[in-house]
Amino acid sequence: MNIKEQTFGKTSDDKNIILYTLTNANGLTAKLINYGAILTTLELPGRDGKFTDVTLGYDTLEDYIKDDCYFGATVGRCANRIAKGKFTLNGKEYCLATNNGPNHLHGGIKGFNKVVWDAEVFEEKTGPAIKFTYLSKDNEEGYPGNLTVTVIYWLTNDNELKISYQAETDKSTPVNLTHHSYFNLAGHDSGDVLSHELTINADSFTETDETLVPTGEIKSVKDTPLDFTTTVRIADHINQVEGGFDHNYVLNNKNSSLTLAAHVYEPTTGRDMELYTTEPGVQFYSGNFLDGVKGKNGAVYKKHSGFCLETQHFPDSPNKPQFPSVILEPVKKYTQLTVYKFSVK
Ligand code: BGC
């Protein structure tokens, strides 16, 4: 089996955290831990055949426990912001933990990135995989209902990191899961990502207020620096956007089939990433708040050292009836599929 397990640490309540290394037929490796269902490392070849770790992260469990950047994390129960941490569902108001100014962000103080998941590794013809499961109890961080969540990561022999999500609940609840890796296709410790070339298949985005909560308006990207409908070097637009990119794009695909959402190319190493998803939105975040974070192997991550493309439903959906719904009903199943496909060009 192309899967290795080694001890990564122990939580304060004595739970063993294991580092799982998945290797595919082409020698690509993905490392994951059962704390936060976090991807700690992704090693990909470049044009010169050299394998390099392309995701930002830490060396120790203690650092992941302290982390507030969400490096490599599985984010839930609701990714992104919920205004004032409040929403009303079936006539009842729910109050969530607020952990980002006045708002709720990425599931709250102890989101899915800060809990211990059950893990099970398996191998299929398509490559090695790991299945994480977690029961988020009724009222956790203020959310209604017991929610059973499954996240499976495959490292396929077609050089894809494929992430599939499922969830079921016993009470109506909002659910909006995402993956929060910060990529730098030149290498996690190679400086900023501004020379990466980006395309996003989105003609519009959700406008936000000064706390990054959507106003409810969907605006065209045309004639704005947010326009990535044709390929743009991130550097060529970033100075025109105050604070950098931290925007939810409304993807052009409207039918929840697995569709190309974005494409990123790093010219010096030739590494190329295509992002496919069944979700209606993707948050493009250019690592604006990285401020000298001490990471793996002595690396120091500064502003724009990595970028995130977080596939998800739109922020603050529980308060925006005009957005696609994130409410999961007890009789239904939440599903999501997102694929990061890598190659060298
Ligand atoms: C958000 C940023 C936030 C970052 C880390 C991103 O998904 O869009 O605003 O700072 O996560 O928390």
- Whether 212 is in the pocket of ligand 1, judged by its Cβ within 6 Å, is yes
Give me ligand 1 centre to Cα 287, in Å: 8
* Residue 96 predicted with pLDDT over 80: yes
CB 305 within 8 A of CB 192: yes
Q: How far is residue 216's CA from residue 238's CA, in Å, rounded to a whole number? A: 24
Residue-wise pLDDT tens digits, 1-23: 699 999 999 999 999 999 999 99
pLDDT at 264: 99
292-311 pLDDT, tens digit each: 999 999 999 999 999 999 99
Pocket test for ligand 1, best of 67, 249, 308 (most atoms within 8 A of CB): 308
Q: Taking 90 as the threshold, does the pLDDT of residue 198 lie above it?
A: yes
Choose, from 180, 237, 247, 313, the residue flagged as catalytic. Answer: 180
Task: Provide the pLDDT for residue 111.
Answer: 98
Q: What is the mean pLDDT of residues 33-43?
A: 98
Quick: pLDDT tens for 171-188: 999 999 999 999 999 999
Q: Give the distance (Å) from ligand 1 centre to CA of residue 131.
A: 25
Asked if pLDDT for residue 31 goes beyond 90, the answer is: yes
| Res 315: pLDDT | 98
Domains delineated in the chain = 3-344 (2.70.98.10)
CA distance 75 to 182: 13
**How many angstroms does the Cα of residue 69 sit away from the middle of ligand 1?**
7
pLDDT at 67: 98
Query: Quick one: which of 24, 3, 88 has its CA closest to 327?
Result: 88
Distance CA 55, CA 155 (A): 15
Report percent pLDDT > 70 for the chain: 100
Residue-wise pLDDT for 211-249, tens only, equals 999 999 999 999 999 999 999 999 999 999 999 999 999
Give pLDDT, residue 251. Answer: 98
Residues whose CB is less than 8 angstroms from the CB of residue 272 and which lie 6 or more positions away in sequence, other chains included: 185, 263, 264, 265, 266, 342, 343, 344, 345
**Which ligand 1 atom sits closest to the C-alpha of 68?**
12
Would you say the CB of residue 288 lies under 6 angstroms from ligand 1? no
Ligand 1 pocket mutation pick from 285, 301, 304 by most atoms within 8 angstroms of CB:
285
Q: Is the CB of 283 under 6 A from ligand 1?
A: yes
Is position 310 annotated as part of the catalytic site? yes
Q: How far is C-alpha 18 from the chain's CA centre? A: 21
CA–centroid distance, residue 285 to ligand 1 (Å)? 7
What value does the mean pLDDT take over residues 124-145? 98
Q: Does any ligand 1 atom lie closer than 6 A to the CB of residue 213? A: no
pLDDT score recorded for residue 213: 98
Cβ burial of 327 (10 Å; 0-12, 13-18, 19+) is: middle
From the CB of 70, is ligand 1 less than 6 Å away?
yes
Query: Is 141 one of the annotated active-site residues of the chain?
Result: no
Residue among 56, 99, 105, 308 whose CB has most ligand 1 atoms within 8 A, to mutate = 105
67 pocket-lining for ligand 1 (C-beta < 6 Å): no
